[in-house]
Structure 1
Amino acid sequence: MPHPQGLLPRRAESLVAEALTDTRVVLVNGARQAGKSTLTRLAASQAGDPVLRPLDDPATLEAARLDPTGFVEHPGLMVINEIQLAPELLRPIKLTVDLDPTPGRFLLTGSSRILALRALPDALPGRMEILELWPFSQGEISDGADAFLDAAFGHGAELEYTSELGRRDYLERITVGGFPESVRRTRRRRAAFFDSYLSTLIERDVLELADIERRRELHTLLRLLAGRAGGLLVPGALAGESGIPRTTLTRYLDLLSSVFLIKSIPAWAPGGGTHRAVGTPKLAFVDTGIACHLLGQDANRLADPGGAAGPMVENFVVSELSRQLTWSAERGTLYHYRTKDKVEVDVVVETPDGRVVAVEVKAGSTIRAEDVRGLRHLADRLGERFVAGYVLYTGRQTLPFGNRIRALPLEALWRVAP
């Protein structure tokens, strides 16, 4: 389908269109301002004569709450934006699709993980497919393949790429992030967007999920979390540093995850478990632009010796791989790995049949032997299950580092293809 001038195609558009052909209810869930309304409008336009019901319009929301059953009556496709504002609609939607199981009846969007809402009614088990929409990937912004994981599992250590990008180019991309509004703005105007975004997120979206009395604590916690991106997510340590009681802090972390601001990366243990592996998850921000804004660091500041280039580059890679896992042909789960002996690997992606691709991330443009220590550890431990290990770095060449291990330029993330 042709796109309006200036509108970047989204990889998720084909996923939504496909899901509507065999599933009664499709939910596109993701961060506010990630482009869900535009995506669903384009996907729904293929369905003939859809009805659009935006719940962020006060009159429409009032109608939904006064007469939920009548609100969802329509013979064709109905698109309902921001379904978390009126979760009482899910029960009449369930009754409607039970009476008429025709695929493609409802296309919903949400800016919070509505399945975690406290008062949520029956969440349409077996009737609804949930697709997660992230902010723009680098391939969507730059017309790249966005298929690193498929290429890695397909080609293993034979993968090669040469890049013209340097360290500064990557840091600029990291500070921009992937929100459509951020991508199209200048640096000064981008800061205004991030300020407005964070204010709306706390003053509206978080309050839709829970009553928060001391909102200033959330702002303080966000800045603290940005400084810990890429590190282990230890609530006790965060509570001690922030002064927020641990039970309250754990609740805040759940809320920030529910509105797609942060993400926890689970720990991985080879063979389903080992006493030497550390089970603590890692913290990642869904968008690096937001994290850099919270830290007050532009590309120049990130590049300084005391800047946050290391954790932000790692967060950048984690978020790009997380995006790709929503559409890649290879099904996999993303983890991090760390042993009690402090052997670490930033990213481990494991397929359901046990094959593993591992990624170490370096913000520098040179690679040392110690940078591949964790990858060699996994290669030795996993044997044939270990497909390949990569060090993604800000240099420009592909470099071999022994059996099934290579260093690749960061740009390979969105340029290489199977």
Structure 2
Amino acid sequence: MNSPQPFSRHLEPQLSEALADTPVIVIQGARQVGKSTLAGWLADQRESVLVTLDDPAVQAVALSDPGFFVTQADERMLVVDEAQRAPGIILPLKATVDRDRRPGRFLLTGSADLLQVKGIGDSLAGRAEAFDLWPLSQGELARRTNPEDFVTWLLETPAIADSERLVPEVVLRGGYPEVQGRSETRARAWFESYATRLADHDARELAGGGYSDQLRALLSILAASGQHEVVRARLARELSVAENTVAAYLRTATIMRLITHVPSWGRSLRGRAAKRPKTSLNDTGFAASLTGFTARHSVSIGGREFYGALVEQFVALEIAKQRAWSATSYRIHHYRDTDGLEVDLILELADGRLVAIEVKSATDINEKAWRNVERFRDRFHDREVIGVCLYAGDRSWRLHDWLHVLPITSLWQHEGATP
């Protein structure tokens, strides 16, 4: 049974604030992450006209008379769901905004990066602000009143507190709203249907023919790798296509917000830093379902390695989700160099400080778990580095003024606790 109530989204205050000073707001994210629900809630808070381009009749009007379409709301806010289906509305929308720059005139949603869709005639620079909506964060799933903000909490609070252990079911469930409350079997069936529809319909519509057969295979290969550096030549061999075709597939999946990339942190004092980003699917539940991975596999000898990759992906995704509402500005990277030093996540703060994070799926760890964080700090001694080792256990402790060992669950269970 599905959850009886829609989940509140922590991004809503930022969207409401932006609607108060910006003419065009864009909510973009993968299919079924909750864009329409959120847009409908925002529409209910003000006078508005809500239309969806999933409706063939509405889409026909948008395609045949885009000038009329964008002016139909008069003084009210026009909410256009799945706006990427009619890219021709963008130029008339720009023209009407240039004539009347009142804030909150348009709210668009798109199951693709709207401004990268073929046929979009303008970037709407200076007129629009785009927000990424991810699958539900763990704080949203827990229906937290106050949005979780791990990075700000880490920087501002001096003491320590324990938390709960991370259980595999949390990682393998992921954050797509539709699978919450479903059985493991029914969740897997939903994801299978979801991936097939994306490949057979959405990708074909977005990028033309030839994508249907390979996009499904691409998603499965990426799902089986957790968060990793993609080597296009190797991926091309696995898909039996040309390397430039792989690049096109990856671009399409990125535009559809199905995959995400963590860029490398580019500075290296010794050796040469890797430049490839780490790539993964946008949700660990999606990845687990496409690979048939279950909680039972996570405790098997053969499944531990893949589960570890999923846990690293899970942490990176949770931190990326929180970035949208965090009180602290940061950019997310990974680090690897030719000397063999690798750190799972490097968060670069606006003031130049770095948060170096190692992620471990084990419930018991020793000093080897945070050794790379210490090596990273020693190597970049001219930067202030805050070290964190996140693991699946429930105890917290601080080794030095700069190094914390914390449960992974502290990413969202930190309210009232202190690291």
The answer for the alignment partner of 1:39 in structure 2 is 38
For the Cα contact (< 8 Å) 1:25–1:129, is it kept in 2?
Answer: yes
The answer for the alignment partner of 2:89 in structure 1 is 89
Shift of 1:404: 1.3
The answer for the alignment partner of 2:214 in structure 1 is 217
The answer for the alignment partner of 2:173 in structure 1 is 176
Confirm whether residue 9 of structure 1 aligns to residue 8 of structure 2: yes
Identify the match of residue 154 of structure 1 among 148, 153, 156: 156
The answer for the alignment partner of 2:183 in structure 1 is 186
Letter of the 1:297 counterpart: F
For residues 255 and 196 of structure 2, the distance between their equivalents in structure 1, rounded to whole angstroms, comes to 16
The answer for the alignment partner of 2:61 in structure 1 is 63
For residues 255 and 26 of structure 1, the distance between their equivalents in structure 2, rounded to whole angstroms, comes to 23
Judge which range, 237-246 or 259-268, deviates more: 237-246
Shift of 1:154: 2.4
For residues 271 and 65 of structure 2, the distance between their equivalents in structure 1, rounded to whole angstroms, comes to 55
For residues 262 and 161 of structure 1, the distance between their equivalents in structure 2, rounded to whole angstroms, comes to 34
The answer for the alignment partner of 1:141 in structure 2 is 141
For the Cα contact (< 8 Å) 1:233–1:264, is it kept in 2?
Answer: no
Shift of 1:281: 1.1
Letter of the 2:187 counterpart: R
Letter of the 1:345 counterpart: V
Give the direction of change, closer, same or farther, for the CA distance of 1:180–1:380 in structure 2 (3 Å limit).
same
Length-normalised TM-score, structure 1: 0.93
Letter of the 1:23 counterpart: T
Letter of the 2:283 counterpart: D
Shift of 1:53: 1.1
Letter of the 2:329 counterpart: R
Q: Secondary structure at the match of 2:118?
A: coil
For residues 401 and 228 of structure 2, the distance between their equivalents in structure 1, rounded to whole angstroms, comes to 29
For residues 159 and 125 of structure 2, the distance between their equivalents in structure 1, rounded to whole angstroms, comes to 41
The answer for the alignment partner of 1:392 in structure 2 is 390
The answer for the alignment partner of 1:281 in structure 2 is 277
For residues 214 and 41 of structure 2, the distance between their equivalents in structure 1, rounded to whole angstroms, comes to 39
Identity %: 37
Shift of 1:403: 4.8
Letter of the 2:326 counterpart: S
For residues 202 and 298 of structure 2, the distance between their equivalents in structure 1, rounded to whole angstroms, comes to 30
Alignment of 1:337-348 (within 5 A): 337-348=335-346
For residues 122 and 250 of structure 2, the distance between their equivalents in structure 1, rounded to whole angstroms, comes to 25
Give the direction of change, closer, same or farther, for the CA distance of 1:182–1:335 in structure 2 (3 Å limit).
same
Give the direction of change, closer, same or farther, for the CA distance of 1:311–1:138 in structure 2 (3 Å limit).
same
For residues 290 and 181 of structure 1, the distance between their equivalents in structure 2, rounded to whole angstroms, comes to 12
For the Cα contact (< 8 Å) 2:211–2:249, is it kept in 1?
Answer: no
For residues 128 and 277 of structure 1, the distance between their equivalents in structure 2, rounded to whole angstroms, comes to 35
Identify the match of residue 292 of structure 1 among 288, 292, 295: 288
Give the direction of change, closer, same or farther, for the CA distance of 1:242–1:213 in structure 2 (3 Å limit).
closer
Confirm whether residue 202 of structure 1 aligns to residue 202 of structure 2: no
Confirm whether residue 232 of structure 1 aligns to residue 207 of structure 2: no
Q: Secondary structure at the match of 1:415?
A: coil
The answer for the alignment partner of 1:164 in structure 2 is 164
For the Cα contact (< 8 Å) 1:336–1:345, is it kept in 2?
Answer: yes
Instruction: Structure 2: give runs of 5+ residues left out of the alignment.
Output: none
For the Cα contact (< 8 Å) 2:83–2:109, is it kept in 1?
Answer: yes
Shift of 1:80: 0.3
The answer for the alignment partner of 1:369 in structure 2 is 367
Q: Report Cα offsets for 1:114-144 as digits up to 9, x if no partner.
A: 2222321012110000011001000001134
Q: Report Cα offsets for 1:163-217 as digits up to 9, x if no partner.
A: 233x5x2x10111110110113222221121011111211122112212326332
Shift of 1:277: 1.2
For residues 188 and 100 of structure 1, the distance between their equivalents in structure 2, rounded to whole angstroms, comes to 51
Shift of 1:414: 0.6
The answer for the alignment partner of 1:126 in structure 2 is 126
Letter of the 2:28 counterpart: N
Give the direction of change, closer, same or farther, for the CA distance of 1:214–1:18 in structure 2 (3 Å limit).
closer
Q: Secondary structure at the match of 1:123?
A: coil
Letter of the 1:162 counterpart: D
Confirm whether residue 316 of structure 1 aligns to residue 314 of structure 2: yes
The answer for the alignment partner of 2:256 in structure 1 is 259
Shift of 1:370: 2.1
The answer for the alignment partner of 2:26 in structure 1 is 27
Q: Report Cα offsets for 1:367-416 as digits up to 9, x if no partner.
A: 22222122112222334733421111111101333451121111100122
Shift of 1:285: 1.6
For residues 250 and 130 of structure 1, the distance between their equivalents in structure 2, rounded to whole angstroms, comes to 24
Shift of 1:45: 1.6
Length-normalised TM-score, structure 2: 0.93
Confirm whether residue 303 of structure 1 aligns to residue 299 of structure 2: yes
For residues 322 and 209 of structure 1, the distance between their equivalents in structure 2, rounded to whole angstroms, comes to 26
Shift of 1:354: 1.0
Give the direction of change, closer, same or farther, for the CA distance of 1:324–1:138 in structure 2 (3 Å limit).
same
Give the direction of change, closer, same or farther, for the CA distance of 1:324–1:214 in structure 2 (3 Å limit).
closer
Q: Secondary structure at the match of 1:340?
A: coil
Letter of the 1:120 counterpart: I
Judge which range, 131-140 or 370-379, deviates more: 370-379
The number of residue pairs the alignment matches comes to: 408
For residues 329 and 95 of structure 1, the distance between their equivalents in structure 2, rounded to whole angstroms, comes to 35
Confirm whether residue 249 of structure 1 aligns to residue 246 of structure 2: yes
For residues 390 and 212 of structure 1, the distance between their equivalents in structure 2, rounded to whole angstroms, comes to 46
For residues 161 and 240 of structure 2, the distance between their equivalents in structure 1, rounded to whole angstroms, comes to 47
Q: Secondary structure at the match of 1:316?
A: helix
Confirm whether residue 349 of structure 1 aligns to residue 347 of structure 2: yes
Q: Report Cα offsets for 1:18-66 as digits up to 9, x if no partner.
A: 110000000001111010111011112221x200111101110001111
Give the direction of change, closer, same or farther, for the CA distance of 1:384–1:328 in structure 2 (3 Å limit).
farther
For the Cα contact (< 8 Å) 1:276–1:340, is it kept in 2?
Answer: yes
Instruction: Structure 1: give runs of 5+ residues left out of the alignment.
Output: none
Letter of the 1:100 counterpart: D
For the Cα contact (< 8 Å) 1:40–1:79, is it kept in 2?
Answer: yes
